Structure 1
Amino acid sequence: MRPTPLAAALGLALVLAGCAQVTALTDRPTAPQATEAQVSAATAVTRAPSPRPVARATPAQLDTTTPEQRAAAAQAPAASAETRLGTTVGSLGNPSEGGFWIKTPLVQERAQGRIVNPATGKSAQVELIPLTGGGSGSQVSLPALQLLGVSLTDLPTLEVYRS
């Protein structure tokens, strides 16, 4: 069976009629430009405000050690009772973890020790905690860094000793 010329003409008419429908969809009026007041109002809604002062935590708020603990950690033990493990670059560890500690690749098991900031000569007795990944530097607790007199954003070179 062959298609008749009438069927072909009707099919062509339907296709062309559909094209007219598509162009009607694209001929929309353009949206009006937003005024400066509208842009300002939208910006005020989409930008988050700064955290409330209560939500901010200062180093003093995060340091939960007592003055007695800080004084005990600042006392240097007898030099003959220590073994120097090496030097490491220290950075601030998790500030919500309390106590005096250093996570370092210089130890393989937990031990007591001491860290020294050669720039200031200050030291802190800390718990030495193993950290995998040699050459990655060390993480130091907030109270220990403060005891060493180091800014929390600095990356000091520290000497590490095992007691």
Structure 2
Amino acid sequence: MMQKILPFVLILSLSACAAGEGPFAKRSKTPQDFDFELDAPPPPPPGATSAEALDTTTDAQKAEALAAAPTAGEASLGKMAVSLGKATEPGFWLRGAAVKAAGKGRVETADGQSVQVDLIPGEGAAQLSLGAFRALGLSLTALPEVTVFAE
């Protein structure tokens, strides 16, 4: 009996994986998947289309993130061009292949401004959150070069 049922169980298990919902399904991590100290802002309201509506970070959260200062134990991950990340993912974060482990970090612009971010491992080029772009006063259509530091 078990020999007749086993193939069906295996086929069903593999079909769930093929649909992207099984235990081996690959999904990208979001800032909410990690436990960080910064209070996470709420997601943007449905139908939001402007940068102001999509950026749900508060003035207090921006002030806290902008108060980032170099720390003795931080390590440079290097200079890199960053593009605007998914605008519907709130908070201050940087995702990219240069990030090998999730944690706290800091992004510094060429003119010395810096913002505290959550570092998230990812694939490909570095992406910076809408909140971080706006806090640093960067053009949303630019590909600014920044230096990234990990704590």
Q: TM-score range by the shorter chain?
A: 0.5 to 0.7
How many angstroms apart in 2 are the aligned matches of 1:94 and 1:115?
A: 17
Matches within 5 A, 1:1-163: 57-118=49-110, 120-132=111-123, 136-163=124-151
- AA aligned to 2:106 is R
Which structure is larger by alpha-carbon Rg, 1 or 2? 1
Distance 1:85 1:151, change over 3 A: same
Please identify which structure carries the higher helix content: 1
Please tell me whether the aligned partners of residues 103 and 118 of structure 2 are also in contact (alpha carbons under 8 angstroms). yes
- The alignment's TM-score, normalised by the length of structure 2, stands at 0.65
Instruction: Give TM-score, length-normalised by structure 1.
Output: 0.61
Where do 4+ consecutive residues of structure 1 move more than 4 Å?
none
Q: How much does 1:81 deviate?
A: 3.1
Structure 2 runs not aligned, ≥5 long? 1-46
Distance across 2 between alignment mates of 1:67 and 1:96: 18
Return 73-82 or 60-69, whichever deviates more: 73-82
Q: Deviations over 1:90-148 (max 9, x none)?
A: 00010000000000211212110000111x3211100001112xxx4211100101112
* SS of structure 2 residue aligned to 1:128: strand
* 2:69/2:114 contact within 8 Å kept: no
Superposed CA RMSD: 1.7
